[in-house]
Structure 1
């Protein structure tokens, strides 16, 4: 039997504000449920734009079930335009690039998508309010966006899917009533992902959450979704099956442009999507974060500490690549005592961390499969610390300095640090907002 993955047409129940998404993988059936806040204006549910986005959301959420077997054939009765077909294949190919690479599966250019063609004219634009839906991830990036939007006087609402741990504490510190969505995965999919004969691995979570945010934008009236993805998210990890694979693909500029175009056309030009932090490096974002203190005790980028029960343990494990990278990029810009209070210890003075930091700086192995910045950026931060009175004697800084200079050279590292602090013009922020933010972020 030829294996296949089928995406059924989704359903939205106005009485419960629940969306149900059903899938078939060969002889297996799955159902996923999204629970939204109460929808007061149910007329939006019948609009062509909402129905279009609901269908696209069903397709993007399907990657979690598709990956159990990763068959070559995908089918659905959801009608797609040519651009939407290309978007779907991009999600199922490049969005799952890390998954394919780590499981040794060759799928690039081999997937078939059987879907009816949508040949309707441009959809009518829904009426949306001039305000922003801002996804909050609990880390430094979205909190810098909070600070920037606040200072330019832009109206925004925090948004999250299945909020927990640092997301909840960050939103509490923001002090604005959020929009939360509960996503319930089919438990059988989770069980099978641990069984022999089935695959498991990374999915493009930013793409998934962005489609859920798009549904909320129509349901509750927001004319733009503002992400907090930095420019280094576009850097890949390894080349596999003839393509660069990127752990952060759905945070990349290339994907941002593609999904923004899809959302714009699906809503008759009403809904915009862009990243407010795209001009910045991770180091530049870290420097902006240091301008305020109100999030020091609530934020975290450590994946190990996004707990279902909330903040019942340390926000930073201090052992993973994300902890190490965030500590590294803060160190050149933040007083040492403040950084040690945030993390609880000095991660650059523990010899056991040396190998992890070497990977981040490109001195050994590949870039970690984590949401970390560019290799040269990390190397430049280390070089800066090697000349910093507060950090140059720390064990890891001293250990890496000779190899950094040997591999990159002093001039290249100096130029790299300067480049990290120079804002890029390669972004899609609306010009008026970009000018306001640039005037503040100096």
Structure 2
């Protein structure tokens, strides 16, 4: 494939009257336009602020990954967007590590080879914005953000649910939350979507959490929120495979490393006014599953199955029961949730189908590699399976019986016991403001 010379990012525009932001990109002789439609009623002075202008430009850069990946050139050009040294490093990180899975699955060597051509912005920070003490909480439709809802509610932190292109479980979950949401419509260029299916163009995974976080930052400034609270767990920092000299991670933009990087960028852009952190960073996926069991009202509206979040939508059940996401979520709930409740949520026993054995083996590191999905750590999955071998409700399930001997042989029972204990021990490696961290820790026992 002939590589295009560079990927062009033009200066974006925003109309506060309509709430429409327009982003334009170039790739060879191709031109693409993407739009965001934000809610009406933005503060005109906020829209005219240097902070919003900077965030809009950075959003243009991050959204651009969807168009860049069609050809994956080595040069990113933004001739009308001035970037500080920190913002240049952020851009390269998004286009290298954020697209790590895309490069690995397309066998493209790009790490350490990309460059950004843009004017130098010598102004490291913007004037401090006056943002109200309010929280914007992205809702993904799965268990994690709903645990954050419970934690924030019980610690007295008011919040507004936030989502980009809400559908399916996002809408049903927010309906149960009962708090007015902030919704944004993202309209991708149709030609980009078409070309991604054509020979001669690449396609693959993009860092969606980075994209949605930048859009949330725009809304925070326009509508007055001083913190964006994510729901990313500590397991998200574990990668999938080694490729081109680096660990590549399907969940890179959910990792702690990226959280610290984007938090710094958003803080600089707003003069320190906007905070960004994950409320669930101290927890493993298993610990989050145990916290989810405290509340039943979301049982039949949430889903982590990716079939619910396709561009074409999904008219089927909330859980397909066949994919690694379904299998992993079922696995981490099983040690903590009553069996009849879990079967009611999923509609069937995913651990009692011999056809699923291979998938559970991959999750637990007994075969293949960690799936390219938002699933937890390999040792965490192994520890949960170990717990089920000793659980009255699950020890006779077909998959549990089939993997038990290999599980014990590979890890050893003492190591699995220790791993389960560590899954349920909260980490201190997080970015949560100390006062809030203390309140959450007191509640989440």
Task: For residue 109 of structure 2, give the secondary structure of its aligned residue in structure 1.
Answer: coil
Distance 1:298 1:309, change over 3 A: farther
In structure 2, which of residues 368, 385, 396 is the aligned counterpart of residue 393 of structure 1? 396
CA distance in 1, matches of 2:229, 2:424: 22
Following superposition of structure 1 onto structure 2, how do residues 142-161 of structure 1 map, counting pairs within 5 Å? 142-161=145-164
CA distance 1:310–1:298, change in 2 (3 Å): farther
| CA–CA separation in structure 2 for the residues paired with 1:243 and 1:310 | 34
Q: Post-superposition shift, 1:313?
A: 2.7
- Equivalent residues of 1:279, 1:424 under 8 A apart: yes
- Is 1:330 aligned to residue 329 of structure 2? no
Determine helix, strand or coil for the equivalent of 1:29: strand
Name 2:66's counterpart in structure 1.
64
Helix, strand or coil at the partner of 2:161: strand
Question: Cα deviation per residue 1:304-344 (whole Å; 9 max; x = unaligned)?
Answer: 12366877431000000000000000000000000000000
1:240 matched to 2:251? The reply is no
Q: Deviations over 1:210-238 (max 9, x none)?
A: 00000000010000000000000000000
Q: What is aligned with 2:129?
A: 126
Name structure 1 gaps, 5 residues minimum: none
Shift of 1:39: 2.8
* Match of residue 24 from structure 1: 26
Does 2:414 align with 1:418?
Answer: no
Q: 1:192/1:124 Cα in 2 relative to 1: closer, same or farther (>3 Å)?
A: same
1:359 to 346, 350, 362: 362
Counterpart of 1:300 in structure 2 is 303
- The answer as to 2:37 corresponding to 1:41 is no
User: What is the distance in 2 between the residues matched to 1:358 and 1:416?
Assistant: 17
TM-score, length basis structure 1: 0.99
Answer whether contact 1:160 1:181 (CA < 8 A) is retained: yes
Tell me the residue number matched to 2:216: 213
Q: Which runs of 4+ in 1 moved over 3 A?
A: 307-312
Alpha carbons 2:330, 2:350 under 8 Å: kept = yes
Say whether the 8 Å CA contact 2:307–2:314 is kept in structure 1.
no
Determine the structure 2 residue equivalent to 1:427: 430
Structure 2 residue 250 is matched with structure 1 residue 261: no
Q: Provide the secondary structure at the position in 1 that maps to 2:428.
A: coil
For 1:23 and 1:133, the matched residues in 2 are separated by 29
Preserved CA contact (<8 Å) 1:166 1:310: no
- In structure 1, the partner of 2:6 is 4
Is residue 376 from structure 1 mapped to residue 379 from structure 2 by the alignment?
A: yes
The Cα of 1:249 is off from its aligned counterpart by: 0.2
User: Unaligned 5+ residue runs, structure 2?
Assistant: none
- For normalisation by structure 2, the TM-score amounts to 0.98
Alpha-carbon contact 1:233-1:252 (below 8 Å) kept: yes
Quote the Cα distance in structure 2 between the aligned partners of 1:400 and 1:122.
54
Aligned-partner Cα distance in 2 for 1:14–1:383: 55
- Tell me, in whole angstroms, the C-alpha distance in 1 between the residues paired with 2:50 and 2:128: 9
Q: RMSD value over aligned CA atoms?
A: 1.1
Secondary structure in structure 2 of the residue aligned to 1:356: helix
Could you tell me which residue of structure 2 aligns to residue 278 of structure 1? 281
Helix, strand or coil at the partner of 1:24: strand
C-alpha spacing 1:110/1:395, structure 2 compared with 1 (3 Å):
same
Q: Deviations over 1:105-127 (max 9, x none)?
A: 00000011101000125311111
Q: Distance in 2 between matches of 1:79 and 1:142?
A: 35
CA-CA distance at 1:424 after TM superposition: 0.1
1:121 & 1:252 partners in 2: Cα distance?
25
Asked if the contact 2:124/2:268 (under 8 Å) is kept, the reply is: no
Give the C-alpha shift of residue 104 in structure 1: 0.4
